[in-house]
Amino acid sequence: MYASFRSIGAYAPKKIYDNSYFESILDTSDEWILKRTGIKERHIADENEFTSDMGVKAAEIAIERSGLKKEEIDLIVCATISPDYFCMPSTATIIATKLGLGNITAFDISAACTGFVYALSVARAFIESGMKKNVLIIGAEKLSAITDYSDRGTCILFGDGAGSAVISATENKEEAIIDIHTGSDGSYADLLMTPNGGTGSEHDELASETCFMKMKGNETFKVAVRTLTKDVVEILETNKIQSDKIDHFIPHQANYRIIKAVGDALKLKEEQVVLTVAKYGNTSGASIPMAINDIYESGKLKHGELMLLDAFGGGLTWGSALVPFAGK
């Protein structure tokens, strides 16, 4: 039995923070943000709109497009670093209940911006081992809740949203996910972290304002370019696939300059590279499925086309995947 990428869905909240919003609250400029990151806008969830709510909206679309009854889903994996609740319950269990799927295996994955690729690898393993048949994977983030809006080095980067996919068992090898690579290196943990709130906290109080993301942006940038490039070169070489055979290169949308550097290193043409960073910013675990949904909804992603996913994030974590699109 193989695992196939059967459908995609996504949701972006209505409220938008454009660069002029940050000009009004910080010492920054539209010109600086665009030049250094490529970001123009980010979607921001309402105060009473939780990560699980966005995940449910994306999941409903993915399930509908899969042609399955929701009861046929037998596992839910949610990748998030901004769960509804600290520690428990998992956001996946809340999503399951909101979808009306009470009795189901459901759990979260914490791999920051690589979360969706990790979730995909877990779904594939459950399916190929014969344990599950239809796995709903979700990347959902309310990063605005853990963003320090007085830190101009980070707050201009992040947005909210969710993306979801149904991964199903198939006997058709043509539709099978070809390969997934994942990795991590905790020795770089201090580059990007929420330093407070856990048992390794610097402070003993758990107040939310002490749980904001902190990032050493410039150092992270350099490691990101190096790691992302190495990772995709390796997965292409391992599978003896030339980069011109990739229909859609879908990298984590953190920064236009990172994506450009990796695309150039792989000698990819502009039309092969999917870019949504301008309109969503960095939505961490949601960024890759939101980008896949974008090309699906604009009619650019067709059945059988080959996607190369590539992600990098806090942990540090990284991952890449070679995935034929098995949806209609």
- Catalytic residues, by residue number, are 113, 252, 282
DSSP states of 183-211 as a string? Answer: EE-GGGGGGEE--SSSTT-SSS---GGGG
Residue 215: partners with Cβ closer than 8 Å, 6 or more residues away: 153, 154, 191, 192
Asked if 152 touches ligand ACO (CB under 6 A), the answer is yes
> Per-residue string for binding with ligand ACO, 264-283, x by CB under 6 A?
------------------x-
Residues 243, 247, 253, 258, CA torsion sign: positive
Among 112, 145, 259, 295, binds ligand ACO (CB under 6 A): 112
307 with 179: CB under 8 angstroms?
A: no
Q: Out of 156, 235, 273, 322, point to the residue binding ligand ACO (CB under 6 A).
A: 156
120 makes contact with ligand ACO (CB under 6 A): no
* Residue nearer to ligand ACO on the CB measure, 229 or 284: 284
* Intra-chain end-to-end CA distance of the chain, in Å: 20
Q: What is the β-pairing status of strands 317-324 and 248-251? A: unpaired
Q: What's the burial of 128, exposed, middle or buried (CB within 10 Å: 0-12/13-18/19+)?
A: middle
Part of the chain binding ligand ACO (CB under 6 A), chosen from 44-52, 117-125, 200-208, 253-261: 253-261
User: Residues binding ligand ACO: what is the number (CB under 6 A)?
Assistant: 24
Q: Determine which residue in the list 82, 134, 253, 284 makes contact with ligand ACO, applying CB under 6 A.
A: 284
Q: Would you say 223 and 216 are in contact if contact means Cβ atoms under 8 Å apart?
A: no
Using CB under 6 A, which of 217, 243, 260, 306 touches ligand ACO?
A: 217
Q: Binding to ligand ACO by residue 227, rule CB under 6 A?
A: no
Residues 56-75 binding ligand ACO (CB under 6 A) are none
Strand arrangement, sheet containing 2-11:
2-11, 160-170, 134-142, 75-79, 105-109
Residue 91 CB, shortest distance to ligand ACO, in Å, is 16
Q: Which one of residues 18, 23, 34, 36 is an interface residue with ligand ACO (CB under 6 A)?
A: 36
Question: Chain centroid to CA 273: how far?
Answer: 16
Report the residue number, 114 or 168, with the smaller CB distance to ligand ACO. 114
Contact string 165-204 vs ligand ACO (x = CB under 6 A): ---------------------------x------------
Is 220 near ligand ACO (CB under 6 A)? yes
295-324 positions binding ligand ACO, by CB under 6 A: 312-314
Q: Does 139 help bind ligand ACO (rule: CB under 6 A)?
A: no
**Angstrom distance (rounded) from CA 251 to CA 243:** 14
Give dist(CA 37, CA 18) in Å, integer.
Answer: 13
CB 277 within 8 A of CB 253: yes
Residues 74-103 interacting with ligand ACO (rule: CB under 6 A): none
Contact positions vs ligand ACO (CB under 6 A): 28, 32-33, 36-37, 112-113, 152-153, 156, 192, 217-218, 220-221, 224, 254-255, 258, 282, 284, 312-314
